Homo-oligomer: A and B are copies of this chain.
Amino acid sequence: MGVRITPRSKSFPDWYQDVCQAGDLAENSPVRGCMVIKPHGFALWENIRDPLDRMIKETGHVNAYFPIFIPLSFLSKEAEHVEGFAAETALVTHYRLKAVKEDGKTKMIVDPDSELEEPLVVRPTSETIIGHMYAKWIQSHRDLPVLINQWANIVRWEMRTRLFLRTTEFLWQEGHTCHATADEAQAETMQMLGVYERLCREYLAVPVRVGLKSPLETFPGADATYAVEGLMQDGKALQMGTSHNLGQNFAKAFEIQFQDTDGERKLVWTTSWGLSTRTVGAVVMAHGDDDGLVLPPRIAPLQVVIVPIFRKEEERAAVLAEAGPLFEQLNEAGVRVRLDDRTQMKPGAKFFEWEKKGVPVRLELGPRDVESRQAMLVRRDDKSKTPEPLEGLAAKMPALLVEIQDAMLTRATRFRDEHTHEANSWEEFQELLDDPGGFISAHWDGTRETEAEIKAKTKATIRVIPTSEEAQPGACVLTGKPSERRVLFGRAY
């Protein structure tokens, strides 16, 4: 009867793997490090992608598409950038196969005569190829700003992979913008960080910590990286989206220049920002329970499932006579609903399946329910069971789905707040990190060396330097040296 889900308390990583499989989200493919996103998982991604696409367009951006291949020389133009990705690049070196005879059999091999003069890198991100095009497109201040986004697949050769969280291929959007001034680029960087924060909160029901990344965690080639960080139920942080102020680094490398209003030629200021299928993993780990997925209604592919219950044929007819119209009413009310009228499957097995798939509301409808003109409403998030009158049920559903969405955000926010602690000594820092985990707000002396030492000692990294809160000086939790402000540490995915 399908997958047994390991309890979270026993092994969170095993639980995660089991829930992804039991919920039919994704599975590993025969291609090392690449996953297959199954229909239920892809529908969930579509429901994250579509509102984000709307928000990206509402903030004045347009979509475009750039090549998946990047000439090696392009990637190498920005020194920090290529260094950051050198160890994980898939390289296309040949373009043809050739049939050879081996033991009397025909076999296909790479045709050695088809070697490329210059190897092509399968994009690990697109700053370089897009920068090259922007240099051609931008001449004057009138061409600015350039506000382009791309939905694409990305390849980073990962040695240790985990479904959605770290895979060799993943799907994302990457925005790439050019501006006339440093201030505009910074405003854009912060605007898109805000869009990610809103997407996570309003759609994924994941409250995120927002802020600047430390030197160790900055994107290769960026002046500054900002991130939204969610907290998972095992107390580990997950970076859910990043927004980079690239300064003039790529503008220099690719000579992206414009003639300004004063007649002078100047380098543009660029940004980039991305959010990926990793967010699907965040939804799993932020909300799931030991019975499987728990999906926020706004992004759940299916919001309500109606399960008719009957034994005899006449019961079946009576129950379906009610279930059909209920389905129609919910459908008309704009609810994503399914009437699960599969035969040859018992109601219990159906309950179990939809629970694992995280459907927010289940409506059970049996002969007695029909007699008393009601349905049993089971909420996936809190497991409450309430008999509800059939009359008016469909009309009430949209509000109930909002209520569930809000409850999930409230619960996740409480969890995050209960797992955010201040540490004022090195001992306290280590203790809190082990139990209860979560975000540790602590002072840091601002050096890359201290950050690296803390990481080496504890596996914790600086998740964000909160920019919204006021700075309070103090002493570094490791070195005791002066610190300008507290930062948020955590172990992370």
**Which of the residues B64, B70, B86 comes within 8 Å of A98, measured between beta carbons?**
B86
Of A5-13, A35-43, A398-406, the one with at least 4 CB within 8 A of chain B: A35-43
Contact B71 A31 (CB under 8 A): yes
Across-interface contacts of A89 in B (CB, < 8 A)? 95-97
Across-interface contacts of A108 in B (CB, < 8 A)? 72, 75-76, 82, 86
Cα separation A91 to B148 with both chains bound (whole Å): 30
Q: A96-B87, A96-B157, A97-B89 are in contact. Are A42 and B29 (CB under 8 A)?
A: no
- Closest B residue to A152 by CB, please name it: B153
Q: A55-99 toward B: CB 8 Å interface, digit per residue (1/0)?
A: 000000011111111111011100100110111111111111111
Across-interface contacts of A142 in B (CB, < 8 A)? 344
Cα separation A108 to B89 with both chains bound (whole Å): 12
Which A466-488 residues sit within 8 Å CB-CB of chain B?
A: none
Task: Count contacts on A: residues with CB < 8 A to the other chain.
Answer: 66
Q: A37-B65, A129-B29, A153-B153 are in contact. Are A97 and B87 (CB under 8 A)?
A: yes
Cα separation A75 to B39 with both chains bound (whole Å): 24
Q: A31-B120, A76-B107 are in contact. Are A148 and B92 (CB under 8 A)?
A: no
Which A180-233 residues sit within 8 Å CB-CB of chain B?
A: none
Across-interface contacts of A67 in B (CB, < 8 A)? 29, 31, 34-36, 169
Contact B88 A96 (CB under 8 A): yes
Shortest CB-to-CB span from A66 to chain B, Å, is 5
Q: A14-41 toward B: CB 8 Å interface, digit per residue (1/0)?
A: 0000000000000001110011111101
Copies in the complex: 2
Q: Is A252 an interface residue (CB 8 A)?
A: no
Cα separation A96 to B65 with both chains bound (whole Å): 25
Contact A91 B94 (CB under 8 A): yes
Q: Is A46 an interface residue (CB 8 A)?
A: yes
Q: A63-B46, A110-B119, A133-B36 are in contact. Are A97 and B72 (CB under 8 A)?
A: yes
Q: A36-B67, A86-B108, A108-B86 are in contact. Are A133 and B93 (CB under 8 A)?
A: no
Cα separation A88 to B41 with both chains bound (whole Å): 32
Shortest CB-to-CB span from A178 to chain B, Å, is 14
Q: Is A171 an interface residue (CB 8 A)?
A: yes
Q: A30-B71, A86-B108 are in contact. Are A65 and B92 (CB under 8 A)?
A: no
**Which of the residues B39, B64, B97 comes within 8 Å of A39, measured between beta carbons?**
B64
Q: Is A350 an interface residue (CB 8 A)?
A: no
Cα separation A46 to B67 with both chains bound (whole Å): 17
**Which of the residues B34, B64, B70 comes within 8 Å of A36, measured between beta carbons?**
B64
Cα separation A215 to B107 with both chains bound (whole Å): 25
Shortest CB-to-CB span from A249 to chain B, Å, is 17
Q: A135-148 toward B: CB 8 Å interface, digit per residue (1/0)?
A: 00000001000001
Q: Is A122 an interface residue (CB 8 A)?
A: yes
Shortest CB-to-CB span from A144 to chain B, Å, is 14
Contact B66 A42 (CB under 8 A): no
- Closest B residue to A95 by CB, please name it: B157
Q: Is A155 an interface residue (CB 8 A)?
A: yes
Cα separation A108 to B132 with both chains bound (whole Å): 19
Q: List 27 A-B contacts (CB under 8 A).
A: A29-B129, A29-B133, A30-B74, A31-B71, A31-B129, A34-B68, A36-B67, A36-B133, A39-B62, A41-B64, A67-B169, A68-B122, A72-B108, A79-B106, A86-B97, A86-B99, A87-B96, A87-B97, A88-B95, A88-B96, A91-B92, A91-B95, A91-B97, A96-B157, A97-B121, A142-B344, A152-B153
- In addition to A43-B63, A76-B108, A82-B97, 10 A-B residue pairs with Cβ atoms within 8 Å of each other are A31-B71, A34-B69, A36-B64, A39-B148, A75-B108, A76-B107, A86-B96, A87-B96, A90-B120, A92-B93
In the A-B complex, the 7 residue pairs with the smallest Cβ-Cβ separation, listed nearest first, are A34-B67, A39-B62, A86-B97, A37-B65, A95-B157, A91-B94, A31-B67
